[in-house]
């Protein structure tokens, strides 16, 4: 790797902790920031990068997700919004958007499609007038395959999505600290009412 490329690479990784502290993902969601960044890219081309602002339209479909893996490990992936229903009044913190466990590794990349979907992906739906919400992705490395005793949630209902805590979830299944993460922010746009309809709200 050229030294210029190496520098860009290093900067990419060291940005996770500083951006999570700056935007208070630490301590609102986790007590320590992961050292590594996840790469998250949506079918629309939108990329998640250290608290950048994206629109609900840009993030409506399941993104492609990558992080540095160990070949024989399993991983748990989540996406949570600590700002439900708003950052000022986060009484439903966290609203979880995506939760997948037992993600295997295939040819040195995480094979998210073959993971066990606990909660199907739901894009951002920040209500009108509630400002920017933070959408936080975290990955945990499992010590072994886990038998999850969680309700399986579909993308057609908002039930049981709120009042979640990824920190409590990680403690329950002894996942340790997150090994990688990233996040974006989004506020209301015209896609939100469409998503509400999908959720039967
Ligand atoms: C909802 O989930 C189903 C699979 O259960 C999938 O086929 C569909 O595309 C998803 N819809 C949206 C809008 O994400
Ligand atoms: C969260 O819990 C409170 C009570 O503890 C309840 O009133 C509220 O409806 C719950 N919100 C969600 C989104 O589940």
pLDDT tier, 21 (very low <50, low <70, confident <90, very high otherwise): very high
pTM equals 0.92
- The DSSP annotation for 51-86 comes to TEE--TTTTSSPPEEE----TT-EEEEEEEESSSS-
Does the pLDDT at position 69 exceed 70? yes
Per DSSP bridges, beta strands 180-186 and 52-53 are: parallel
Q: Residues 172-191: what's their mean pLDDT?
A: 97
Does the pLDDT at position 2 exceed 70? no
Ramachandran area for residue 15 (φ above 0: left; ψ -120 to 50: alpha; else beta): alpha
Q: How far is the CA of 200 from the centre of ligand 1 (A)?
A: 14
Pick from 120, 124, 154, 156 the residue to mutate for probing ligand 1's pocket: most ligand atoms within 8 Å of its CB: 120
Q: 51, 183 in Cβ contact below 8 A? A: yes
Distances (CA, A) of 128 to 66, 80, 90, 131, 194: 31, 19, 15, 8, 13
14 lines ligand 2 (CB under 6 A): no
List pLDDT tens digits, range 140-180: 999 999 999 999 999 999 999 999 999 999 999 999 999 99
How confident is the model at residue 5, as a pLDDT?
66
Tell me the pLDDT of the chain averaged across its residues. 94
49: containing domain = 3-198
Q: Which of 100, 125, 126, 129 is nearest to 112 (CA)?
A: 100
**% of the chain surpassing 90 pLDDT:** 90
Q: How far, in whole angstroms, is CA 39 from its chain's centroid?
A: 11
Q: CATH number for the domain including 73?
A: 3.90.280.10
Does the pLDDT at position 4 exceed 80? no
| 13 against 2, higher pLDDT | 2
C-alpha span between 40 and 86 (Å, rounded): 24
Q: How many domains, in total, are found in the chain?
A: 1
Helix (H, G, I), strand (E, B) or coil at 31: coil
Q: How far is the CA of 136 from the centre of ligand 1 (A)?
A: 21
How confident is the model at residue 201, as a pLDDT?
75
Q: Residues 78-96: what's their mean pLDDT?
A: 97
Does the pLDDT at position 102 exceed 70? yes
């Amino acid at each position: 790797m050229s030294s210029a490329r190496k520098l860009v690479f290093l900067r990419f990784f060291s940005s996770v902790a500083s951006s999570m502290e700056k935007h208070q993902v630490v301590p609102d969601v986790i007590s320590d920031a992961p050292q590594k960044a996840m790469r998250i890219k949506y079918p629309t081309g939108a990329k998640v990068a250290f608290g950048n602002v994206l629109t609900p339209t840009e993030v409506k479909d399941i993104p492609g997700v990558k992080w540095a893996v160990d070949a024989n490990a399993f991983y748990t992936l989540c996406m949570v919004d600590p700002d439900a229903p708003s950052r000022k009044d986060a009484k439903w913190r966290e609203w979880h958007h995506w939760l997948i466990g037992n993600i295997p590794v295939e040819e040195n990349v995480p094979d998210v499609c073959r993971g066990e979907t606990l909660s199907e992906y739901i894009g951002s739906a920040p209500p009108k007038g509630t400002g920017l919400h933070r959408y936080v992705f975290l990955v945990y490395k499992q010590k072994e395959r886990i038998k999850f005793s969680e309700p399986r949630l579909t993308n057609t209902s908002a039930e049981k999505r709120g009042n979640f805590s990824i920190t409590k979830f990680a403690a329950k299944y002894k996942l340790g600290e997150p090994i990688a993460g990233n996040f974006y922010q989004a506020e209301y746009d015209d896609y939100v009412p469409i998503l509400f309809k999908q959720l039967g709200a």
